[in-house]
Amino acid sequence: MKIKFKVFILVTILIGLIGIFKILIRPSTLYPYPYTFGNIPYPDKNRAENCDILIVGDRMAIGLENFKPSLLKILSEEFSPNIDIFNWAEENEGLHRTLNKLSSLKKYPQIIIYQGASQEFFEKKFNLEQAETLSKNLKNYRDPQKVSLIMAFPPTSKFIYSLENLVEIGPILKRNGGEKTAEKMQQTFEMEYKIFELEMDNFANLAKEKNFFLFLLTTPINTIIPPKEICSNSTSPTLETEQKEIGELLNQGKSKEAFERVSVLGAKIEGNAKNYYLLGLSLEAMGRFEEAAEFLNQGSAFDCFPWRSNIVFNNIIRSKTGQRNIYMIDFDKIVNKNFGSRDLFLDQIFPKAEFYDLLGAEIAPMIGNIFKR
């Protein structure tokens, strides 16, 4: 019995030591992401480090090529015509990859412009099984005393956060495959918004730490595009029949009757993207554009197929207004304040060229003031 007891004690100690070893080999971090990056080379690093203005993000930032001519024209009148703007954006690049790319730089341009949040779901960066752990980690992240301790002694993060079974992200962008039920899709949205908010904190702090000026742009949402997919747990055959009839009323110009019927549906069933969309369309037809825009935005947010940005991402970006070294440009507002007056978008995603000219005109004086310092 004594030998068995000694063996038991030794095994217990060994398990404990293995557990401690696993904790100790974790990287120290302020941000408890559910993912980790492998070694990723960035061939254009030198170009990014030596430009005057760096543009980063996903396809929305690629689209900022449309505002470069107007921005350069305005800036060259007061400053050098040789201002170097480098667009380092990449299709399907989530904010997590943008931040990893930026963290690889040895020096930073004076100004970085970010627009994205339209392809955050393209790549898998967490497992739904991590949801509870993520919530606990975020609770610790928002505890001022614990964060102060991590900032003073970074290795303490290994004991404050639980960082296990992290998703490893490599150099190749791979589409997030696999179908999800409506419930799992909704859980995915919830986790993604929490992570994006954390990444935005990281981005803001990076600007302060590396002393560059960060321009955050919201993404214009083309709200007249209907939801791509209705979450199955928010609909039924009866509801779909009713919505089809309401759509026919709108086609017949009976917007008031359509509004009354869809209002009743909306009061009974929450979270149905098609209800919000029909409410928005009926209000738009009645000339109540401000109210219509609110409901159409809700419709895009409840879309069960995450193919673009939405009001949730934009509001997270808007929350950074007023922070040091950060300029928040509400590009969505620049475009959609004209909602109801004319066509605003070239396609489902990108606004018309005139709005990029307006964007350039708004940003140029801010950049000019920075260059004068």
pLDDT at 17 (0 to 100): 40
Cβ neighbourhood burial of 295 (10 Å; 0-12, 13-18, 19+): buried
Note whether residue 177 is domain-resident.
Answer: yes
Which residue stretches of 269-352 are H helix?
A: 273-285, 289-301, 311-318, 331-336
Task: Give the predicted TM-score (pTM) of the model.
Answer: 0.93
pLDDT at 89 (0 to 100): 98
Token code pair at residue 37: 């990056």
Q: What is the pLDDT along the chain (373 residues), one digit of tens a residue?
A: 556 555 445 445 544 444 444 454 567 999 999 999 999 999 999 999 999 999 999 999 999 999 999 899 889 888 877 899 999 999 999 999 999 999 999 999 999 999 999 999 999 999 999 999 999 999 999 999 999 999 999 999 999 999 999 999 999 998 998 889 999 999 999 999 999 999 999 999 999 999 999 999 999 999 999 999 999 999 999 999 999 999 999 999 999 999 999 999 887 888 999 999 999 999 999 999 999 999 999 999 999 999 999 999 999 999 999 898 999 999 999 999 999 999 999 999 999 999 999 999 999 999 999 998 8
Beta strands in the chain (DSSP E): 35-37, 53-57, 85-87, 111-115, 167-169, 213-217, 326-329
Do 6 and 51 reside in the same domain of the chain? Answer: no
Whole-angstrom distance, CA of residue 11 vs CA of residue 26 = 23
Do 251 and 264 reside in the same domain of the chain? Answer: yes
Note whether residue 223 is domain-resident.
Answer: no
pLDDT at 113 (0 to 100): 98
Whole-angstrom distance, CA of residue 364 vs CA of residue 357 = 11
Q: 230-244 in b/e burial notation, b at 16+ Cβ within 10 A?
A: bbeebbeeebeebbe
Do 57 and 178 reside in the same domain of the chain? Answer: yes
Whole-angstrom distance, CA of residue 364 vs CA of residue 69 = 11
Note whether residue 179 is domain-resident.
Answer: yes
What are the percentages of helix, strand and coil residues in the chain, rounded to 5? 55, 10, 35
Whole-angstrom distance, CA of residue 362 vs CA of residue 150 = 39
Q: Render pLDDT for 267-283 as a digit per residue (tens, 0 to 9).
A: 788 899 999 999 999 99
Which residue segment(s) compose the domain that 281 sits in? 232-301
Do 102 and 213 reside in the same domain of the chain? Answer: yes
Residue 11's H or E segment, with its range, is helix 2-24
Note whether residue 142 is domain-resident.
Answer: no
Do 277 and 361 reside in the same domain of the chain? Answer: no
pLDDT at 141 (0 to 100): 98
Do 271 and 286 reside in the same domain of the chain? Answer: yes
Do 42 and 94 reside in the same domain of the chain? Answer: yes
Do 290 and 345 reside in the same domain of the chain? Answer: no
Do 12 and 68 reside in the same domain of the chain? Answer: no
Total number of domains constituting the chain: 3
pLDDT at 18 (0 to 100): 43
Do 240 and 99 reside in the same domain of the chain? Answer: no
CATH code for the domain in which residue 238 is found: 1.25.40
